[in-house]
Structure 1
Amino acid sequence: MKKNLFLLKRIVLLFSLLTILAFTTACEDDPVAPQEEHLEAIGMVFYDSGIEVARIIRGVTSDTLKAPLGGLSEHYDIKFIDESENEFDPPSTETQTLAWEFEDVSIADIWQHEGEEGSFAFHLQGLLVGETNIEFFVMHNDHNDYRSGKIPVKVINEENTYGIPIGLELSNEITGDILIAINNSQVIGQLSIINGDTTDHFEVEFFDEFNNYFQPASPPHTLLVEVADESIVQIVGQEADEPWAFKVAGLKSGSTTITIKILHDGNVGVSFAPITVNVN
């Protein structure tokens, strides 16, 4: 009796295991079930405007990424390298994002444009003259699909460099008078326009946390001025030879706001606090 009971238990256990195995196999072979893609890469390549600046394969590199002190590096785009050492584009899924880790966070950091956080493009920001290492990861939900190995980063002191823009000054191009100043979320000044008139050219100049004043290279950067109510004012006078200047035309009496934005390759890089415009 005990022997028969033991055999019965063995048969039930075996049947259960076969059922689980069949179910698992069916799920894996199901073409309708969503399949998670993992990044299969052995290396990374970093490009600046289509020109290769560094690469790392199987954790080995002889290259160094550089950043200016108190400023931003050029815009780096990433491609990956497969087992055949062919390059391929980074993943485009929202579940796979770029992450990184510095050995010394006091020397350098990474900055990404607004709306590009976690994407496979970035600027290096130089915080302190010196050298450190950075390691990149491709995060897939709560784990990493890929790690690059350590890449040297060097911060050097260069002239005519600038950091992340935190504010701007809007001035009359003819008189040089500063009409509007924006520092982070604080806006000093308002614009007043006579109904039916068009202003002189307004020129925009930006500044970073170190009070370096600059106008970004155009292209790839361009100026966007958005109007909250286009029935009250219109932006005119934007010309290719003056990429950081514009005019405002008063269409009817009222009050609205304009918002100045820096675009990078057509995407919003930085957006500033709205400026009040009154048409009398």
Structure 2
Amino acid sequence: MLNHLFARFMQQNNQTNILQSAPVGECLHIQHIETFSEPCLLRVAAKQQVCLVQNGWRSPIYQEGEHALSSRALSALNPNMPLQLIFLHIEHSLQRDWQHQGLHLQGQYQLRILNSEAFLSQLLSLSPIPDLSAFDQWLVRQIEHIVQEQQISAQDVQDYPQRLALFLKDVLNARLLNPQGMTLDRFSADYEIPVADTAAQENAAEKSSAPIAETASPSSLTTTAQENEVAEFYCAMNGGQQGPYRRQELQNLISSGEITPQTLVWKPGLHSWQAIKQFSEFQWHDKTIND
């Protein structure tokens, strides 16, 4: 089993450029060729398919066998521009990692391509130069949309990542992937505790265990109480989830105008995100309370 998809590219054989592949265990591999010349002979290994891509243009899908690429077939290509070859192995699945920093989730997915034409159309619609990372990012955006649409709370994301993974797999397949000739065979999700959360919990534990000096003034006791507040509020801002915040930190954002009454907020104990104006613990200026 070879480690790379191509055994050799652009070999000279009686002045004919040979684009050649070798079968491996990969589902998909993208090869970039800086320059090429005519005539070309494209050799496609058994159970593979190949598509040529350049600057938004793509060729038909070539099946296994040898294909002499004539000047007419290559007329749309610029020999002075890079050429990409996308090789698909129709009996293997694509295995990739994914991550959403805002949701603190990461995992892996295994994608099986059932319709090569549909998959290539989707891949090239995301980036004129084929790039699997663009497909990863597209999938992550769909995950974020589903979580927001279904009003899945941050606490549920944290507590039930495996259950969420099963739900996302079913929804992604039924709504997006299956109609486009793709299917997720496997999909996993793991929750990563944010570094800020860990530091806040350790800080709160240290402060709660420290004795308060008997000579402390009322003002210092008030400050200590505010510092000991648990950072438990999350806000939906700037296209993602921000937080956690302490109550006073949110109040400061309200006072500065960075948060509007309609900003969605969640904290442990709530079943869904709610507009922050519904929280009685926050004060609003008369100018904004009716927004």
- TM-score of the two chains, using structure 2 as the length reference: 0.24
Normalized per residue, which structure has more strand?
1
More helix by share: 2
TM-score, normalised to structure 1's length? 0.24
Q: Which has the higher contact order (CA 8 A, sep 6+)?
A: 1
